[in-house]
Amino acid sequence: MSGVPDPAGSGQAVGVTGAFSYSGAAVADELVRRGRRVRTLTGHPGRAPHGTPVEVAPLDFTDPAGLRRSLTGVEVLYNTYWVRFPHPGTPFDAAVDNSRLLFEAAADAGVRRIVHVSITNPDPDSPYPYFRGKALVEQHLRDTGVPHAVVRPAFFYGRRCVLMNNIAWLLRHLPLVAVGDGGSYRVRGMHVDDLARLCADLGERDDDVVVDGVGPDRPTFRELVEQIRDAVAPRRPILDLPGRLFEPLTGVLGTVLRDRLLTRDEYRAMATGLADSEAPATGSMGFGDWLAGEADTLGRHYLNDTRS
């Protein structure tokens, strides 16, 4: 269904930004499963699967009045909008401004609650624009005065997970793989379906709350790569490289694959502990449990993140 239908007589909708993307799709699926009427705000209406029960409305940050119309009749907004790295015309500063416009439109449209997906360890003084921008977005959310929940995940696994799939692809196809600076820094992922359940639960509350979106496992990065290696290519050696060599290596591989495997900031943030959390687990699916069920298919095909 395209366009925004008249909500009269049909009950209030819940809104999801990017319901045909990765994490947004998981959130939308969980809400549909719970019997909610779901409307997505998207800049890519052509991605809507045939027969989807999700209503489609435009996500156009150049049209604040249109954003308000897209959000009219929405009770709770689940926001997954962000950019992994700057695109032409969309630097991180623009993504921050777009998020502010979205929250303001939600407030003006009478949205009761906003559930926002952020990042672990956001910091307005961070040297990394991604983490700095995420902190600014959280502040803009607070400034609206709309009751809200903030979920802070580090990375996801499950479903069509680009990061985990492509690590597996490299392990299947290269004679060896490398980790930077020994890979001793810890990382705390979460199954994307656990994220969806957490977001849906938080949407049913009324209080302002901030929680880390983390699963039960907290391996080092090397341990995570070793788990994937043992599942898909048990004999593949893993090489330790100094960070000053690891960064250009990922750049070269990205050039060959016409993708961006891991940006310099992503690596440095991970190596300094920003993909870690000591918070209690808010997801139940362990990484190893998920991996055991995916070993036969994970990494069979490369997934290009810049073309998705």
- Same domain? For 167 and 110 the reply is no
> Is 157 inside a domain boundary?
no
Same structural domain for residues 171 and 78? no
Domain annotation covers residue 227: yes
Structural domain includes residue 6 = no
Answer yes or no: do 183 and 134 share one domain.
no
CA-CA distance, 148 to 249, in Å (whole number)? 41
- What's the pLDDT tens digit per position in 100-113? 999 999 999 999 99
Spell 170-201 as b/e; 16+ CB within 10 A means b.
bbbeeeebbbbbebebbbbbbbbbbbbbbbbe
pLDDT, tens digit (0-9, with 9 covering 90-100), for 110-168: 999 999 999 999 999 999 999 999 999 999 999 999 999 999 999 999 998 999 999 99
202 domain-assigned? no
Q: What is the value of pTM for the model shown?
A: 0.93
Residue with the two structure tokens 């994970």: 298
Q: Are residues 172 and 116 in the same domain?
A: no
Number of domains in the chain: 2
CATH number at residue 94: 3.40.50.720
Q: Are residues 49 and 117 in the same domain?
A: yes
83, 117, 146 - which closes a domain: 146
Please report the beta strands in the chain, taking only residues with DSSP state E, as ranges in sequence order: 13-17, 38-42, 55-58, 74-79, 113-117, 148-153, 155-157, 177-180, 189-191, 209-213, 238-241
Domain-embedded: residue 76: yes
Residues 6 or more apart whose CB falls under 8 angstroms from that of 144 comprise 103, 104, 106, 107, 114
Domain that holds residue 239: 162-187+217-277+285-303
CATH number for 179: 3.90.25
Same domain, yes or no, for 122 and 181? no
State residue 114 phi and psi, 5-degree precision. -125, 130
Tokens of 79: 């926001």
